[in-house]
A and B are shown apart, each in its own frame.
Chain A
Amino acid sequence: MKNESIRTSLAKGRGLGSARNGTEHWYMQRITAIANIPLSLWIVWSFLSLIGASYDEFTIWLAYPLNAILMIIFVLNVFYHAYLGIQVVIEDYVSNEILKMIKLIGVKLFFFAASVAAIFSILKIAL
């Protein structure tokens, strides 16, 4: 057998650093998933009413406070959920550690920038 040492697994693992953030990733993926259900139905419903909308029609629609608020919540929730999902996919399928790190950082920065860009745009139209 491999394990000939009398040292326990805990003794070997201790001091090698934390397992990062425990269950938070899994938990937040579920929280955002639940919130995504009504938010996605709302966005589909909204887009259906906006088919062929002119610039004025679209900006008036987005300037309505409830729509602007829901759109910001939608963007934050969807982007967070997408970030968590893509992070797991990268961790699962990219075996090269350096490439993996580069992609994880890239995805994180992209979603941060995308969130700022989307929320700024919504506010610019709505305010």
Chain B
Amino acid sequence: MYKKSIAELSQGLASGEFSSAELTRTYLDRIETHSAGLNALISVTADEAMAAAQLADQTRQAGNAGLLTGVPLIHKDIFCTEGVKTSCGSKMLDNFIAPYDATVVASCKAAGMPMLGKANMDEFAMGSSNETSFYGPVKNPWNIETVPGGSSGGSAAVVAARLAPIATGTDTGGSIRQPAALCGITGLKPTYGRVSRYGMIAFASSLDQAGPMTRSAEDAAWLLNIMAGFDARDSTSVERDVPDYTATLNDDLQGLKIGLPKEYFGEGLDADVGRVVDAAIKQYQQMGAELVDISLPNSHLSVPTYYVVAPAECSSNLSRFDGVRFGYRCKDPQDLEDLYKRSRGEGFGAEVKRRIMMGTYALSAGYYDAYYLKAQQLRQLISDDFKQAFEKVDVIMGPTAPDVAFKLGAKASDPVSMYLSDIYTIATNLAGLPGMSIPAGFVAGDKGDMPVGLQIIGNYFDESRLLNVAHQYQQETDWHTRIPQGFE
């Protein structure tokens, strides 16, 4: 049952082949037997999941089931869930139980989807390896000595290990796509404003976007149908019709123009990863697509721009964690200043503190123009690059990450090399564009094959096309169906 796609699960539930309770139990059992070594979950909500599954079955019996009613999932622990701990991977929120559901969570609940648990993640989504989590690093199911990527590493690992049919993630600079690539799954970061941010704990408000993390593009289309849409509680969500993302999956790719930015294939890209990506692109050519060489000349500015904008916003967003109303509070504060300093000093981890300090600096009097304002101008240049590119091509392709999953601890003491893990994904966040990563093949590693991700970037609100392009490839290849050893 755990090998079935969402379409097959939906079908099986509808036909009565199995119930949601059976399906949910199957996954809870898999979590119990397989999750210990991965450390992919912060919370497992077995009782709540079974209750929701039974409710879903009743709904179905009453004839009110929707397409996803009874299909269980796992949420990244960045989404607020009423009555269930929402830690955001931080000691700061280890004791925090939200009194409300994030819009994404509420939408999935309303669709009748039981929540199996909440996925581990880098603290406050700041990290590319899942090593900054207060709950310890997640291990990559393909080789538990390597990282799963981050920050949605827990979500990627549970989907790769088939501990859930689907999961939600969030992506601020690559946090859905990079772990998807490193864990060999499909991940989609929608256009900024497509999915509500309400109830999703903010890292960098102008970049954060939630999306599906799944085995296939088809599954992603099913989940995005539930997640996408305008939300009056999020002023940056866009009031625009949501198409049925499954409707166009089978459109023909004949004549599709694929842009290949030369900046994405140069220095810094691992040669083996490059060969896998090249082969995937060749496959598209054989499927009738046309390849177009393009340039995104300001690509090299993405990482520095991002590391001004994102920390600046996070330094302000994380001010609310002050030990006064919720979350961690230091023991026996002597006075207000002591309360602030120790609560924040003890509650936040090193990477979060580093970014708060960088951001505070960038916004300070006398530095604002040189850093924050300059970064906003560069952001515009980066967006303009894409705008010009999409006048010539339909989608842009390249590697998702410069390398396959690296060893735990390999980059932990070198933040800059860690930041470069997201060198190909960050620009789409700065521009607000949708981007995807799909399994494109494997590279031999010392403990077996490691997955490689192909990144597909689309124009604004062109998620349907991304999913279509990805799905067509998955009709010709079986990379996405591979299951890491020990999890079959």
B is bound to A: no
**Interface residues of A, Cβ cutoff 8 Å to B:** none
